Structure 1
């Protein structure tokens, strides 16, 4: 069996290795050149391809006619997309004789679209996973081959959850691949009413809403925790304050106040939400460096300061 592989990131690395371990011939690997300025904290698909002597290319546009012609000449049985960042159009999807399949980082039909792990954490989901599904021209829409769930704990960061999803993806492909190669895998259609589509995220989307409660803020902080993601933030006195780590626990509510506030109390930093719920801040950064409880009043002029609206 032969497969064309589009892959990137840790999921791409692990799933490419699963194919090679199963003896699948991979005549072509398509991946991305690492973007300038992006923090590259994940493994290299190109490195794995080179180590195994596979042809590996990094086109800006994967739909180049000459690339399609090269792939067609290899008469692939399958096409796999493992965290490749571009949508593949019909000529690619129709090329393999036995279909094109994608590995998505959620339990489809939930969290279809971009940044599924980050969105799951932001929304306070208690589980997510990886789903192998047949590709069509609508994103994350095709029939499901298999999926594997992983838990999301209350203090898990998106990076920690992504590590679980990588393992789930490897499990899903390793146990599904023998059935796919034998032609006996059973696919089931998605019930799209049980989930929705989510768009991509930009660094400025990390702004903490002034109306958010403590749990919503905690979820946003851990979904965007540095250094792997750009961080959740607010503004105090015109300065950008990045909230890097928080601890959520049920605590006595305070009287609702006039919006979101940052405070130093009893040797700790706190975010006081507009609804009276509270959140301990374990790490925060401002333009002048780390913010701690000891120097808070000296820095901000008061033990409790409002967040800019």
Structure 2
């Protein structure tokens, strides 16, 4: 019987824990996190699936203490798995797995090591990402690679879209590689970190738009942090525009001489950008309240709104 201790959270954690159980791995203990009430939970629960299978669940603030290291040591697991767990595990913990400690990461390593890999990949305009199973080391997302599965990123995909695709890829990848891990014949391919990148955790303030960016850069930021993530926003003359979705249709700006500017017709809101392109904005808030095409005139004036000055400019938007 193959045994494992699992550190897991989020959709990837839930899916990968199910894979271990389907393959008959005896999961001895699950480390997870308490849900943050300020965070919109779009993913299924690792703790719930563990408890439904009569597996003990703990949620320590720090798993790298003597108490928890001792608890894992007493279990003598064959493997330790980390599936989207939010803490780095110390070397002492990693060394307790007699057959290896492995992590599932949401990028094509060595690219986008670190936190929020899906969000960063979209922000940088990548056209693909994926899931990578690798051995853990003292450096984050740096140990030898066992395998990867790729997923495309389409131009309109949001971080939620891609996160769900990556979670499905992680499930398929672990399902494919687990028999080789158990049999002791899985590869361990060193990563060339010079060919990759490392990124830290994104903060809500990282969602701020500069109105002087080109359209594609603004679009990539909007979809990288679209709900259920905190959302992108821009500030002009003390007013906050929160852009919660966009479509990049490669359309020319209607009022390039006034860009950056916002305007509406009966169907949609539009943002003309400084590179001569425009974005369609399906969901916008102004100072925390919905800004729809129908209420644009009442909220912003009847004409084109210059985002540099928040002045209405006399133009025909019909």
| Same fold, TM-score > 0.5, yes or no | yes
Segment of structure 1 superposing worse, 53-62 or 232-241: 232-241
Following the alignment from structure 2 to structure 1, what is the Cα–Cα distance between the partners of residues 296 and 222? 20
What is the match of residue 231 of structure 1?
231
Report the Cα offset of residue 297 of structure 1: 2.6
SS at match of 2:251: coil
Residues 48-67 of structure 1 aligned to structure 2 (within 5 Å): 48-67=49-68
- Residue aligning to 1:306: 306
1:110 offset after TM fit, Å? 1.0
Whole-Å separation in 1 of the counterparts to 2:84 and 2:257: 44
What residue number does 1:105 align with? 106
| 2:37 matched residue in structure 1 | 36
SS of residue matched to 2:297: helix
Aligned counterparts of 1:33 and 1:308: Cα–Cα separation in 2:
43
Kept in 2, the 8 Å contact 1:234–1:308? The answer is no
Shift of 1:8: 0.3
Report how far residue 262 of structure 1 moved.
1.6
1:253 Cα deviation after fit: 4.8
Moved more, 100-109 or 230-239: 230-239
Q: Counterpart of 2:177 in 1: which secondary structure?
A: helix
* 1:215 aligns to 2:221 (yes or no): no
Deviates more, 1:36-45 or 1:253-262: 253-262
Deviation at 1:288, TM superposition (A): 5.8
1:135-146 pair list within 5 angstroms: 135-146=136-147
Query: Would the aligned equivalents of 2:129 and 2:153 in 1 still touch at CA under 8 Å?
Result: yes
The number of residue pairs the alignment matches comes to: 308
Q: Is the 8 A contact 1:126 1:153 kept in 2?
A: yes
Counterpart for residue 262 of structure 2: 262
1:8 alignment partner in structure 2: 9
What is the aligned partner in structure 1 of residue 280 from structure 2? Answer: 280
Following the alignment from structure 2 to structure 1, what is the Cα–Cα distance between the partners of residues 289 and 142?
A: 45
4+ runs of 1 displaced by more than 4 Å?
Answer: 253-259
Runs of at least 5 residues in structure 1 that lack an aligned partner in the other structure: none
Deviation at 1:210, TM superposition (A): 2.5
- d(CA) in 2 for partners of 1:202, 1:41: 18
List alignment gaps of at least 5 residues for structure 2. Answer: 310-318
Bigger mean CA deviation after superposition, 294-303 or 37-46: 294-303
Deviation at 1:28, TM superposition (A): 1.1
Cα shift readout 1:191-226 (whole Å, capped 9, x = no counterpart): 222221111111111111222111111111111112
RMSD: 1.7
The offset of 1:258, in angstroms, is 6.3
Q: Residue in 1 aligned with 2:292?
A: 292
Q: Can you list the C-alpha shifts for 1:107-165, whole angstroms capped at 9, x where unaligned?
A: 11111111001111111111111000010010010111010001111111110111100
Cα distance, 1:71 vs structure 2? 0.9
Partners of 1:27 and 1:55 within 8 A in 2: yes
Within 5 Å, give how 1:13-24 maps onto structure 2: 13-24=14-25
Q: Which residue of 1 aligns with 2:77?
A: 76
- With over 3 angstroms needed to count, the CA separation of the structure-2 counterparts of 1:303 and 1:258, relative to structure 1, is closer
Find the aligned partners of 1:6 and 1:260 in 2 and give their Cα distance.
46
Cα offset, 1:278, TM superposition: 1.1
With the length of structure 1 as denominator, give the TM-score of the two structures. Answer: 0.95
